Structure 1
Amino acid sequence: MCRCLSIHWWALWAFVCLATTAFSQPPRGPLVVSPQVNADKTVTFRYLSPAAQEVKLSGQFLKAPIDMTKDAQGIWSVTVGPVKPDIYPYSFQVNGVTVMDPANVAFFPNERFKASLVDVPGDTPLIHALRDVPHGSINYEYYQSLEGTTGSLVVYTPPGYDQNTAKKYPVFYLISGTTDTEETFFKVGKTNLILDNLIAEGKTKPMIIVMPYGNIAARIAEQKGGSKPADPTVRDGADAVKRANDFTADLVNNVIPYVEKTYRTIANRENRAIGGFSRGGGQTLRTAFNHMDKFAWVCSYSSYLSPAEMDKSFPHITSNPANTNKQLKLFWVSVGSDDFLYQGTVEFMDYLKAKKVNYKSLITDGGHTWMNVKKYVAETAPLLFQ
């Protein structure tokens, strides 16, 4: 009898737990599919909010936010396009407040906003598309950084890295822009898939790619309980230069030694490249010009240094252009024609040309976007370590 009583009590307990769980769940609304990429390259976006008074769609495939329409279930929707195949950030504006798409797990890693991402595939797979080729690996690493903080890295290793344990590889240090994180070149730039595809096509050498977080000041503040400092207002002002120098110190003194201890690298300047987008491009130029003994390959994406800063801080780059041209196996500068940094970048190119410093350049359509960054990575990766 005791055994039966025990069984009854357990059955009652299970029933109570299940009932409690059931009653504690919030009511479920209708299933929302968003974004829905249609066969004709139009895209349908949906957002569930019966109580909202107004919902708009904002995205880099639009010139301005557009209104969405609510149905009887409280689902707001709109179809746009056709949209040119690429990966785009987008968000909803709900009663004037910007929000992510809760039906979409793909998002843009950023300090300030978390836009969602929509991938519109091409009829022919784009260079960043997931293809049936051998794939490398993405690893998250943590290292001792400045002022006793812990730094974070995303590291790509090429296909075959784990199988051929005797082989060593060159390294490309790749730095994201202002407000981006160490994940942005991976999750938005799809650098791992670009490299997988280029390697499979025999267009680029297998390499390790290290993607660090560029905002050292924010990391220190966050880990020490302070407030994240505002971004510098002047690109070549004292604050911006100090922060760039802090990044340089962290990269040279902490990141590179950690990577070369942890991974099988070819540890010399001829097998180290550095590149970056926007603020990361400025960090790239300052780091490379301050440490010509560390890097032989330099890629600036949508960024520049002013002639005044070049003359003041880096006269050794222009005073002996023959030596600079000998040291730099690749010096790349690229920008979009609609980029807000276009004029400054063109001025930088003209300055280099006048000083007889060799560089390769690419001016594309479009603005200060990650659509352009993917193009620049795809163009420069085949030139590295050749």
Structure 2
Amino acid sequence: MKRFRILKGLFTLAAACISYFALSQPPRGPFVVSPKVLPDKKVTFSYLAPLAREVKLSGGLFGASNVPMVKDSIGIWSVTVGPVRPDIYSYNFVVDGVNVMDPANEDFSPNERFKSSLFEVPGFTPTISSVRDVPHGSVNYEYYRSVEGTIGTVVVYTPPGYDNDPAKKYPVFYLISGTTDTEESFFKVAHTNFILDNLIAEGKAKPMIVVMPYGNMEARIAENKGEPKPADPIRDSPDGIVRMRRFSDDLTKNVIPFVDKTYRTVANRDSRAIGGFSRGGGQTLRTSFWNIDKFSWICAYAANLPTSELDGTYSAITSNAENTNKQLKLLWVSVGNEDFMYQDVAPFLNYLTAKKINYKSLITGGGHTWINVRSYLTETAQLLFR
């Protein structure tokens, strides 16, 4: 009986504690599911904001630019749009004039500035960037010693089967994101790991390691010092070139040696590729041309080099097409015809043609988007290390 009374007392105390904490917590609002992709590929977005005066959906890439949402009786604003073409898209809500992420959605675009939410509209058959029932590689976050004593970060993809054969070595593709993007962008937004998984499973791409570094050394230095991120320089300006040189030095002197030491790489130029989007594409072209002894495969997505720079800094490369063509196994340049970079990329391609420098190009529709980048990555991954 005594033991029963003790247990009864404990249950009474526990009930009292539960009641206290329940009373002390603020009431929960309604449970919101957003977004919901419907079978017909229409998409419903919802946002709980009972006190808001106006809520809009901002998703211009899928035809929903500032679309008004309607509030129900319990304060949930909703709108259904589409059907939306299968792909991965970013969006946000505009609540009384303020941009906000979707709190019901855990997927978002990593960015130095505003982090928009992400969602995928699956295809009736799986797209190349979707999760498929194939062997999957691994994605690792790594830390290394970077510029000015800072700690740098890279995201590293290893292909399916990497851990099965400790003697096998792999070529490496260094893949660089654009301005305001981070080392996670090619992973979380482009789905690089799923694209490679699927291509490798189909026999369309060679198994490779993909290394995704952070492209903004100045932001890293400021962060390590507890200082605000410095403003981004004007593209192709002297300050911009200095920053690209700093990135190039970090990649070649810190990142590549770290990767070659940590992973089973084929550590020579013929087994090393570099690619990038936007600013990352500019870093790709400059880093590879500054270090032609380290890269045989170059992939520039929505990026170019100015003619004055080509004739000056890189004259050894541009004035001897025969030698350059022997050194490079691939020089790839791609851009959308609605991309603001198209007007700069087109003269760059004309320059390469005039100089008789071999290249492959892909001009698509669309603008400066990750939708296009996924397409470019898919195409170039199938060409590398062949």
TM range (shorter): over 0.9
- 2:57·2:64 contact (CA, 8 Å) conserved in 1? no
Letter paired with 1:210 = V
Letter in 2 for 1:231: D
1:242-281 alignment, distance < 5 Å: 242-281=242-281
Distance change (3 Å), C-alpha of 1:63 and 1:71: closer
Could you list the structure 1 runs, at least 4 aligned residues long, displaced by more than 3 angstroms after superposition. 1-13
Q: Name 1:194's counterpart in structure 2.
A: 195
**More displaced stretch, 290-299 vs 20-29:** 20-29
1:10 CA displacement: 4.3
Q: Give the aligned partner of residue 140 of structure 2.
A: 139
Instruction: Give the match's secondary structure for 1:228.
Output: coil
Question: 1:365-376 maps to which residues of 2 (within 5 A)?
Answer: 365-376=365-376
1:317 Cα deviation after fit: 1.3
Counterpart of 1:186, as a letter, is: F
Cα offsets for 1:277-328 (capped at 9, x unmatched): 0000000001000000100000000111111121221111101111111100
- Could you say what secondary structure the match of 1:64 adopts? strand
Deviations 1:7-42 (A, max 9, x none): 566445433432332123321122211111111111
Structure 1 partner of 2:41: 41
Name the amino acid aligned to 1:197.
Answer: N
Structure 2 residue aligned with 1:166: 167
Counterpart of 2:294, as a letter, is K
Query: Cα offset for 1:215?
Result: 0.7
Q: How many angstroms does 1:63 deviate by?
A: 5.9
| 1:86 aligned residue | 87
SS at match of 2:312: helix
2:64·2:81 contact (CA, 8 Å) conserved in 1? Answer: no
2:119: which partner in 1? Answer: 118
Deviations 1:242-288 (A, max 9, x none): 11001001000000000000000000000000000000000000100
Aligned length: 385
Residue 77 of structure 2 is matched in structure 1 by 76
Q: Give the TM-score normalised by structure 2.
A: 0.97
Aligned to 1:310: 310
Matching residue of 2:221: 220
Q: 2:156 maps to which residue?
A: 155
CA distance in 2, matches of 1:346, 1:20: 68
Contact 1:236/1:309 (8 A) holds in 2: no
Tell me, yes or no, if structure 1 residue 323 matches structure 2 residue 318: no
Q: Which amino acid aligns with 2:149?
A: G
Aligned position for 2:66: 65
Deviation of 1:152 after TM superposition, in Å, equals 0.4
Query: Which residue matches 1:377?
Result: 377
Following superposition, the deviation at residue 225 of structure 1 comes to 1.4
Conserved 8 A contact 1:43-1:81:
yes
Assess if the C-alpha contact under 8 Å between 1:172 and 1:273 holds in 2: yes
Deviations 1:56-107 (A, max 9, x none): 0001212631111111111101111111110000000000000011111111
Counting only pairs closer than 5 Å after superposition, residues 27-38 of structure 1 correspond to structure 2 as 27-38=27-38
TM superposition shift of 1:351: 1.0
TM-score normalized by structure 1?
0.97
Cα deviation for residue 203 of structure 1 reads 0.5
Residue number in structure 2 paired with 1:54: 54
Does the CA-based 8 Å contact 1:296-1:330 persist in structure 2?
yes
| Offset, 1:3 | 6.9
The alignment partner of 2:62 has SS state of coil
How far apart are the structure 2 equivalents of 1:94 and 1:274? 41
CA distance in structure 1 between the partners assigned to 2:64 and 2:19 by the alignment:
50
Counterpart contact for 1:111–1:181, Cα < 8 Å:
yes
How many Å separate the matches in 2 of 1:47 and 1:12?
40
SS in 2 for 1:313: coil
Gaps of 5+ in 1: none
Contact 1:332-1:360 at 8 Å conserved across structures: yes
Letter in 2 for 1:146: V
Check if 1:103 corresponds to 2:104: yes
Task: For 1:48, give the aligned amino acid.
Answer: L
After superposition, the CA RMSD in angstroms is 1.4
